[in-house]
A and B are shown apart, each in its own frame.
Chain A
């Protein structure tokens, strides 16, 4: 970490804009040989954009990148890789029906002989060696589809270091890992460090940042707030840098009286989870916490009729329902703000107005014609009521910011009269200001008598906003917490049971 080790990577004054958004604004970082640099920031702070520029997935608008002191234009992923940059993304990029060894050597298969025939034996042997470096026992001939999430991740790391990796970027690598698996990942990182690999470690879990990084750079709203030596910082300081305000203002929570049971789920089972039971009360925000692969998203889809229910029952307002399609869920006044709003929540090419009315278009006018004036008025009302910032209701949602897009998705269900609103990671990819607005909005809805199921993997968020939290792990229910008994450690422990 001392300067004498030399700088492997320097990104200088990097700027990147998307239509309507400055994703990165003059951000600079240095990375030394054999160090772990943490990059910390809220969702939407620009961490991913920075990494994608480094990996050649995005082209920067301006700024310079130096590798080993040489100015280097990264024009695409192949160039980034050839200069020793390897990225392990949060979403795993393994191919499920290939073996461990095949996955490790995708695109870089070992060959032998003049005909360049694939050297299976050599590949399996090399794979075994790579896994041994990381102290992992995995059969190179195992099919990836049969492995656990954390094992898949290990394969990803092996793939990244199979070629000489100079700079290794890990984007939220522990999102799907249990405590133990995280510890073994840290051992691997230590081993790579001693080999001189420079590592960029992206996370929003402070505990891990303190445990594994040497220095930490904090980003906020696309700007660099500062870089600190990890040893010389503490969590309060980092949080303050990250959110730019006091933590109490970040998660406003007010008291909403909680009424009777509106939804009861008994022994519900479908693909991805089984035997889940819970009750949801009027005016309540029920949090569901779980790691990647815990079945929380499958549960949500089943509640909404998008996944086939195998067993169990759903009772809404005392009536037993068989929800077989999203249309039936909508008619039962259930709304879903999905995990990926661009894929499941919005028609990006359409306007704000069309997006708000599309789930309830049959109520607009009695005939098969759309009552366009009524539509414009209704959409306009929602825009005002929940504060969607848009030049007009005709504006394409594509050009709105993440927070406003999320509000459009929510408005769609409000327009359909939803009383039970399921939000899957409601503040993902939303800037800090809009986050606070969404929290306030959720509580406004509860005050008006709606009930909310919120899935979140952000611990501070779920701990501050939910009234009650149930924890899932590997498709099962593990624990229920009243908010006064819940803690970060407790939730994480239950999530790994």
Chain B
């Protein structure tokens, strides 16, 4: 009875996540795309892939924190959109607020939205899906307040913020993502906040009974998500050159797909940024490959949806024995 089943632990525990399945699919797809399209394996194309996933990657960084704590954030697309359009209005000719202030205001907007989400979820006690579904609509609505302005971004620093390539090959946005993912990995692993977050996601009842300040930690997780929404918003206006009220629409679906494929458990308690990063690259590579192969839009969506269900199904199947205990 004492002989415990120990399969994978430590670094190898990632074998228990959907990541290995995903890597398998990735290899197959890479082979397929590079054999069928001569544009696929060019530096130009790969640069593009990496720069294109900047917004999703930054949003995934925050959502992962929320989801490890057992929460959910559907408002990320709207929040990014709001931070983006407000920033672009502030940067408009005639207003031209100083760049550092624009960044600060954008970050304040994201963090405030996160704070509002967190307070409603913990203090009022509304389910996070419902809460953020509500704030998704509210803040998208607010974005349309500036719908007629069509603010273009002339600020050079903001233009470069999401567009320059280091040494002409390495997109700076990928560096942001790597910094964010590494920093968050360290925070989750080495700080009390991180540990408490995993405890809450693993078993919230227990966390409360152990005297962990559950509400405070959860609110903080939504604020962190809000912060990354602001950054994503700034990246959006930088890369697209203007502020539009619809920017970021639907990003929540794409990002949740990436995060779940990356092995973050819905319900919380488990997840790591290595998996999320791999999922991010794979989803974007596959999207790109299908574009190069002229796969019609409808089929691209079908493939992505099917991939999500397939990978999670394989994961569930592999862990079936593990789950049966409960």
Contact = CB atoms under 8 A, between A and B. Distances in A.
Interface string B178-201: 000000000000111101101100
Interface string A331-369: 100001010001111111110001000110110100011
Given A306-B209, A369-B190, A370-B190, A354 B195 contact: yes
Contact of A329 (B211, B270, B325): B211
A399 B4 contact: yes
Interface in B147-205: 190-193, 195-196, 198-199, 202-203, 205
Contact of B209 (A344, A354, A364): A344
Contact of B206 (A345, A372, A394, A401): A345
Contacts of B325: 18-19, 398
Given A19-B325, A391-B4, A354 B199 contact: yes
Contacts of A404: 2
A325 interface: yes
A368 B213 CA distance: 14
Given A358-B210, A390-B4, A347 B193 contact: no
B201 to A, nearest CB: 9
A359 B210 contact: yes
B209 A358 contact: no
Which of A20, A331, A389: most chain B Cβ within 10 A?
A20
B123 interface: no
Given A347-B269, A350-B199, A326 B4 contact: no
B212 interface: yes
A391 B270 contact: no
B294 interface: no
B219 to A, nearest CB: 16
Interface stretch (B5-13, B96-104, B285-293): B5-13
A197 interface: no
A364 B192 CA distance: 9
Contacts of A396: 9
A327 B202 contact: no
Contact of A346 (B10, B195, B206): B206
B1 interface: yes
A22 interface: yes
Residue in B199, B206, B213 with the greatest tally of chain A CB atoms within 10 Å? B206
Nearest to B203: A347
A486 interface: no
A19 B193 contact: no
B1 A22 contact: yes
Given A343-B203, A349-B269, A354-B199, A304 B192 contact: no
Contacts of A330: 210-211
Interface in B254-285: 269-270
Nearest to A221: B1
Contacts of A369: 190-192
B1 A20 contact: yes
A266 interface: no
Contacts of B192: 361-362, 364, 368-370
A338 B206 CA distance: 9
Interface string A431-445: 100000000000000
A401 B202 contact: no
Contacts of A349: 202, 269-270
B39 interface: no
Contact of B208 (A18, A306, A354, A364): A306
Given A20-B4, A369-B190, A398-B325, A350 B202 contact: yes
Nearest to B6: A391
Contacts of B208: 306, 326
Contacts of A22: 1
B10 A394 contact: yes
A338 B191 contact: no
A401 to B, nearest CB: 5
B185 to A, nearest CB: 14
A21 interface: yes
A400 B1 CA distance: 8
A331 B269 CA distance: 26
A395 interface: yes
A282 interface: no
Contact of B212 (A359, A372, A391): A359
Interface string B1-28: 1111110011000000000000000000
A221 to B, nearest CB: 8
Interface of B: 1-6, 9-10, 190-193, 195-196, 198-199, 202-203, 205-213, 269-270, 321-322, 324-326
6 contacts: A21-B1, A345-B209, A359-B210, A361-B196, A395-B9, A399-B5
Given A326-B211, A344-B206, 4 more contacts: A349-B202, A350-B199, A359-B212, A400-B4
Interface of A: 18-22, 304, 306, 325-331, 336, 338, 342-350, 354, 358-359, 361-362, 364, 368-370, 372, 389-391, 394-396, 398-401, 404, 412, 431
Name the 8 nearest CB pairs between A and B, nearest first. Answer: A327-B211, A347-B202, A359-B210, A330-B211, A399-B4, A19-B5, A347-B203, A389-B2
